[in-house]
Amino acid sequence: GESVGLHLPTLSVQEGDNSIINCAYSNSASDYFIWYKQESGKGPQFIIDIRSNMDKRQGQRVTVLLNKTVKHLSLQIAATQPGDSAVYFCAEIFGNEKLTFGTGTRLTIIP
Amino acid sequence: ETGVTQTPRHLVMGMTNKKSLKCEQHLGHNAMYWYKQSAKKPLELMFVYNFKEQTENNSVPSRFSPECPNSSHLFLHLHTLQPEDSALYLCASSQQAGGGTDTQYFGPGTRLTVL
């Protein structure tokens, strides 16, 4: 499944499939990006980050891709599990400025 | 757990009440933050403290009063709130504010309801 971030706030994916959550960021000069996961009743949890001098970074079952040309960030989750159900936020930062968060995408895993 | 704790987890208060939210971080960080999270809105930064000094007040009404006695503790004092102040209030910490690639770690939040 694939979302377009702020314009499609929900995404449903079959358990075991891969998920792609997209985010369009606003500042072309932003140099650091973070993906957060927020489960119901909890605060946002750091998942993975990437600096602007990279195009791709991999973690455990997650990959973040950065396309600076179109100011686009995506989070790929491999083999989604029920525990992946949450709201996912991207955040950007420029220099020493504060983090700017998106509104998030709610990911629902269908058993 | 993220190492950032918040109490209480839930709070219901009347508009004339005075209450306080507490945040404690066990990560050895020097910066602490208060955010407001309302439904279908991005996280709103309220206050930033760096080495116990307030470095940012994001045009927050005076009915919200922060206090940072040391780098590990942060309070948000509430008085004469309005129903529209009902939200999830999140505390976060990082190594230091304005650190560029400095990641913020969040607590579980306090769900506040103002009647």
List, as one string, the DSSP characters of A73-87: EEEEESS--GGG-EE
Express each pLDDT in A37-66 by its tens digit.
Answer: 999 888 999 999 999 999 999 999 999 999
Cα distances (angstroms) measured from residue B7 to each of A50, A65, B22, B62? 32, 36, 5, 21
Q: Which two tokens stand for residue B105?
A: 């770690």
Contacting residues of A for B107, CB less than 8 Å apart: 43
Q: In the prediction, which pLDDT does B37 show?
A: 93
Query: Which residues neighbour A63 within 8 Å (Cβ) at sequence distance 6 or greater?
Result: A56, A57, A75, A76, A78
**Would you tell me which residues 53-112 of chain B have a C-beta closer than 8 angstroms to some C-beta of chain A?**
56, 90, 92, 98-101, 103-109
Residue of B106, B110, B111 to mutate, interface with A, max A Cβ within 10 Å: B106
Express each pLDDT in B44-100 by its tens digit.
Answer: 999 999 999 998 888 899 999 999 999 999 999 999 999 999 999 999 999 887 766
Contacting residues of A for B98, CB less than 8 Å apart: 96-97
Kindly tell me if the per-residue pLDDT of B102 is higher than 50: yes
Q: In the prediction, which pLDDT does B75 show?
A: 98
Q: Does A103 touch chain B (CB under 8 A)?
A: yes
Cα distances (angstroms) measured from residue B4 to each of B36, B92, B109? 16, 7, 10
Of A2-11, A61-70, A73-82, the range with the lowest mean pLDDT is A2-11
- Find the mean pLDDT for residues B100-107: 83
pLDDT-derived band at A7 (thresholds 50, 70, 90) equals very low
Distance from CA of A36 to the nearest CA of B (A): 10
Q: In the prediction, which pLDDT does A100 show?
A: 85
Q: Does A51 touch chain B (CB under 8 A)?
A: yes
Cα distances (angstroms) measured from residue A49 to each of A54, A55, A85, B6, B10? 10, 11, 20, 25, 31
- Find the mean pLDDT for residues B9-20: 94
Nearest CA among A66, A60, A85 for reference residue A22:
A66
Q: Which residue of B has its CA nearest to A51?
A: B101
Nearest CA among A79, A85, A71 for reference residue A23:
A71
Pairing of strands A105-110, A10-14: parallel
Query: Which residues neighbour A77 within 8 Å (Cβ) at sequence distance 6 or greater?
Result: A18, A19, A20, A21, A61, A62, A84, A107
Contacting residues of B for A51, CB less than 8 Å apart: 101
Q: Does B3 touch chain A (CB under 8 A)?
A: no
Would you call B108 and A43 a contact, using CB atoms and an 8 Å cutoff?
Answer: yes
Kindly tell me if the per-residue pLDDT of A6 is higher than 50: no
Cα separation of B95 and B104, whole Å? Answer: 8
Supply the mean pLDDT for chain A: 88
Q: Which residue has the tokens 């602490």?
A: B32
Q: Which residue of B has its CA nearest to A37?
A: B106
pLDDT-derived band at A4 (thresholds 50, 70, 90) equals very low
